[in-house]
Amino acid sequence: MRGKGKCGTDGRATAFAFKNTKGDIVSWTFVAAKGVDEEVPDAMVRKILSTVRPMTGAADGGS
């Protein structure tokens, strides 16, 4: 542990935001530990990110 009130490892984050069909700003964020055996590789984060799509229709308030 690095110190009182501190995390034991460094972190990493990936985020993006956009306006949906209603004009609202929405976002997607991935937060994880960095430098650990179970660290999620950048390629996996990018693969997940590539599947995120804006919603259309009733769930988004559109038609």
- Summarised one tens digit per residue, pLDDT across range 10-45 is 788 889 888 888 889 988 899 988 888 988 999 998
Instruction: Look up residue 2 and give its amino acid.
Output: R
- pLDDT classification of 1: cutoffs 50, 70, 90: very low
Global pTM value? 0.58
What does the alpha-carbon distance between residue 29 and residue 49 come to, in Å, rounded to a whole number? 9
Instruction: Look up residue 40 and give its amino acid.
Output: V
Q: Tokens in use for 49?
A: 């990110």
Identify the pLDDT of residue 57: 64
Predicted confidence (pLDDT) at residue 54 exceeds the cutoff of 50: yes
